[in-house]
Amino acid sequence: MELHPFTIDIPQKALDDLHKRIMQTRWPDEIDGADWDYGTNLDYLKELADYWQNQFDWRKQEAMLNRFHQFNTTVDGFRIHFIHERGKGQKPLPIILTHGWPDSFFRMYKLIPLLTDPANYGGNLDDAFDVVVPSIPGYGFSDRPHEKGMNSQRIASLFTHLMTETLTYPKFGAHGGDWGSSITEMLAFDHPESMIGIHLTDVPYHHLFTIKSDDLKPEEQAYLKAGQGWQMSEGAYAMIQSTKPQTLAYGLNDSPIGLLAWILEKFRTWSDSDGNVEQKFTKDELLTNVTIYWVTQTINSANRLYYESQHTPSKTTTERTEVPTGVALFPKDLIPAPRAFVDRFYNVQHWTEMPRGGHFAALEEPELLAEDIRAFFRPLRDFA
């Protein structure tokens, strides 16, 4: 399978159209004193929209992303975009880092240099990695699926082929969060012979529905209850995207402010930001991620992953994988799972409860995450 160098170069016409659409936004009303109780706050959204319109420099962000070595290749008839950065030192360990929703490959931009060149950031050169960061099918610059069935299991198969056949790594490690954890999990269950180990920042949400509640410890029962409560208070987006994503797409694909509002609210709610999203993310970071969705027109295909996973589910992973597993839990993530629950599904050899951080750990706390990934894989390097 051939590799093709890839450079991000968004046509100026698309950026001009974006600015025009922002300028012509028809703003809704808002309840007095609503803050964020009803959803994305109007005043802050207007502030961020004004920055997007008048100060945000996509070309600067584009140039920053293009400093990474990017490629695309066709795997099983599907074009995948990915970053491939070689590590320093004698024997870097290959690792694939998989993002989730509503982010993109951009989630990993701070993490990549910490893993490829740890000695330059106070670490040990022996902990270096060859880092591969793909765009999930339907996200960013990868192809958008046009047939049913592109679920986590299918994506894991594509990524295994990418790593073992295209990039010729016989064995590799994997890390992921959100959808990235589901895809990484499927790498372990379906392709254990290729895996050195997997590292997760959360337990895939579907496990809440695949376990018998009468066989759980008290802390596991509390976890299931918290999951049910979260689903009722915060999970409406997932229900919509799992059932009627096409209806949602007409608004989000047509209105940049609608798209920004839909994604921004998750970055604020799911991060360790104490309600101030800019404590963890700059305006440029928030808007770079959203602009990737906008210029690639991938919000619909990204949202559809929820539908595909609901209607064409991956095989039920109720069994336990023996692939070595590391888990780093960040306290402000959605619902951090207790150790007893995680042990049911994974061969946990490394467990860390972080002092801070939320759902977007690679963007929020890249140093903490990088050190945990290094520590987990350190004793596994001889098995590469």
Question: Which one from 190, 202, 359, 372 is the annotated catalytic residue?
Answer: 359
Long-range pairs for 117-123: beta carbons < 8 A, 24 or more residues apart: 117/87, 117/88, 118/88, 118/370, 118/374, 119/88, 119/89, 120/88, 121/367, 121/370, 123/370, 123/371, 123/374
| Catalytic residue check, 178 | yes
Q: By percentage, how much of the chain surpasses pLDDT 90?
A: 92
Q: Once rounded to an integer, what is the mean pLDDT over residues 193-201?
A: 98
- Per the annotation, the verdict on 306 as an active-site residue is yes
Residue with tokens 């987006």: 237
Per-residue pLDDT, averaged over 176-182, amounts to 97
Q: In the prediction, which pLDDT does 312 show?
A: 82
CATH architecture of 4-383: 3-Layer(aba) Sandwich (3.40)
For the chain, give the mean pLDDT.
96
pLDDT reading at 214 higher than 90 = no
List 178, 202, 333, 372, catalytic entry: 178
Mean pLDDT lowest for which of 195-209, 250-264, 360-374?
Answer: 195-209
Query: What's the pLDDT at 317?
Result: 61
Given 223, 306, 307, 346, which residue is catalytic? 306
Predicted confidence (pLDDT) per residue in 118-130, tens digit: 999 999 999 999 9
What pLDDT band is residue 319 in, cutting at 50, 70 and 90? confident
Phi-psi region of 374 (alpha: psi -120 to 50; beta: other; left: phi over 0): alpha
| pLDDT tens, residue by residue, 82-120 | 999 999 989 999 999 999 999 999 999 999 999 999 999
- pLDDT band of residue 207 (cuts 50, 70, 90) is confident
Q: Is the pLDDT score of 134 beyond 70?
A: yes
Angle formed by the axes of helices 245-254 and 299-311, to 10°?
170
Query: What average pLDDT score do residues 314-338 get?
Result: 89
What is the pLDDT confidence band of residue 316, given thresholds at 50, 70 and 90? low
**Where are the domains positioned within the chain?**
4-383
Neighbouring-strand partners of residue 201: none
